[in-house]
Structure 1
Amino acid sequence: MTERITLTGPSDETSDGDRLPPARFALDGQTWKEIAHLLANLPVSIFGFVYVVTLVFTGAGLAVTVVGLPLLAGGLAGARLLGKAERARARALLGVRIDEPSPMPVVGTGFFAWLWSSLKDPVAWRTVLYDFIRLPWGIVTFTVMSVSLFVLWPVLPFIARGLTNVDRAMVRGLLSPSDELERRIAELESDRGVVVDHAAADLRRIERDLHDGAQARLVNLAMGLGLAKEKLLEDPDAAAAMVDEAHGEVKLALQELRDLARGIHPAVLTDRGLNAALSSVASRCTVPVKVSAALETRPAAAIEGIAYFTVSELLQNVSKHSGARSASVDVWRADQRLLIQVWDDGRGGADLDGGTGMAGLADRLGAVDGLFVIESPAGGPTVITAELPWRDRQD
């Protein structure tokens, strides 16, 4: 996680606890860097000010037209790049180490999702403010440094340090990463998009399973019963055979519907809780699985469901990909977190990019403020730990 930087006023401290050497009468390397930074302030601030006024403010003025908002969004994207360049300049010349802000989160897909996300990007707007107010300061620092180089040489290091401390404060205040609340809001907006995408994918899967499975069998059943009805009088034996075949189709259709319902939300989970539901999943695994779910109370239904489907998919991976001879599932509560650990003695090598659905599981857990950690060295064993927030069940 990106570290936050607290501004305590101008000083000789940089972020992350680093300290600049104290200013001395002799011109050392750091002093020359500070002088170079102050002299460069004027051309840099002129460029930033002109950019902001001509592009961003022009886009805002044309917002009522078709091109106005896209132009403004593009200007804000460019402002992000200006902020990145200023942070790099501050790191190189002032010793200010500030982490880069998170990439702009885009909720949804398509042009309009990008447009709306760009227009409300707080990092870009703070950079616009930074470039807008820097021009007067750039003029002041350039003038003072130009005079000091020829007139105030003996105290030049102290003047440079005092002026650059103001620069450090401005960079930290306006170009540092967003505060924790702002960052968390952006993460939640992004996670909401992940949840919506997964929900849509699940609905498409259910629709496909119904269409290709139970629905197709029921259509065949109806056709078979129709033919049996026609042959009932003229060929009773053939009709009886058709009815017997239809009876088999009914059984298969019912089984497919039960499997589909279990994939949506199994009845055993609702009726008996996570321990019984996980034991049921483990019994269908091709590898012997030991289940331990030490929970005195049941979590919220949504958390319980995510835990169930996480273990279910992990055990499917154990069956299909691990080559394991044994596995175990442990579930327990630690404070306000629900922890799940799935272990197997297979070949190992599992990762988020292995095409086994691990990335999807990580996204789903992340969408509810959970964690997903894989430890799977080549040769095994594999230990996968999932962590979910604990919320009490509301019956």
Structure 2
Amino acid sequence: MDPNALVVMTLAGPVPADALNGPILCREWLLNDQSTLLQSSKAPLDAGDVVQLSCLSSVRRWPLSTLHNLHLNREDAVQAAAAFSREFSGAGLILVSTPSSFSVQQPRALLEISREAGVQIAMGTTPPQDLMDFEACVSAVVSDLACGFSGSASTEPLRPGFIGEIDAEKMEILAVCVEAQLRSQAPLLVVGSVPREALGYLDRGLWRKCAFFDVPDDSPVSVQELQERGAYVGFCAPPQAADVAWEDYPGRRPMRSEAGFLEAAARVRPGQLLASTGLRFRCDLAAFGGPGLGYAPQLLQRGSLQHQCWANAASFLSYPWQPPKPPEKVLHEIECHWCGTMKPDGEHFSKMGFDYCSPSCVAKHRKADFEASAHGVENLARLSSKCMCGSQRAPHTPGSQISLPCVYVCTWFKPSS
């Protein structure tokens, strides 16, 4: 592969950046389990209630009140992705960035969904939660990007296409991801409010390969400042076409209405805007009364922003990924006892506990009754200058002192005067 070629890494493999066409959704939780967020409220719902038309308005007002709304399974993902594929004739790309705390997806499962739905999917990688050492965490992320997710088959490695998503307020994780980005040049997806402390890490990274999604108006580092530093800025469309939740909840997106989304998008420089539908809850799915994955492209089309937005996403995601270098071949050689020729291990011959380079050397040693001290003439000169203990010492000469383990060897092969 051309070391300067820019590619976008999907689960199916690298794709040239200029080969992408259609919508690119940059922040989707296509598979997730948010059951830990279940909370009791004043909602007229029970935890076991199913999302359906009769209770849809209540689910939208209290999205964390029922387990059924807090989980997107494989069937949900296939239906949503297939509908997206049909709407855009198989074009486009879906970035799955489910946080590790809510993640249930396996790379292989997402690849199967991609193939079944007929749409390309890219997946993010984040530092492992069970590693405490900084360098080990960085190496794990870089290894995922280069070689594929741990556990994916070597014959078909499944590689992430970006680092993230990462909460901008988690400094330790952010530091690891910025260092991994420096080593790999991979794109980095950061979400939420950005504290000024984060700039100490981000200023070391590649701003043109950073994207900040759903930064609220009260963020210490504003959207305007992030743009000035060269980063991409993106927004998720309002959930269920309008956020009508009566209670706040973790990870709530800042865009509450279509008008607010389009106004925020219009304030971003055209060459730095990204967008996504922001699929998260079951009531976001078209099958359960939501707008589906095609919602963000529809909104951008109203503002005539879609084509620039998709080109920006392709630029953000493309980087000079290179396949890992194959391991160096280790050649083990065996020394012929008779003539001293080196022979590759496995191509040599053995007899009576001795190794040979050819049957002729076996025959010659047989004539000497396989005497251990017997060698061919061609090997004597070499052995006379090398002790069989392995040291490269001069042969024994009369009057010199010899260590006991080498007496026999050094005196036996002493050159004749």
TM-score, with length taken from structure 1: 0.27
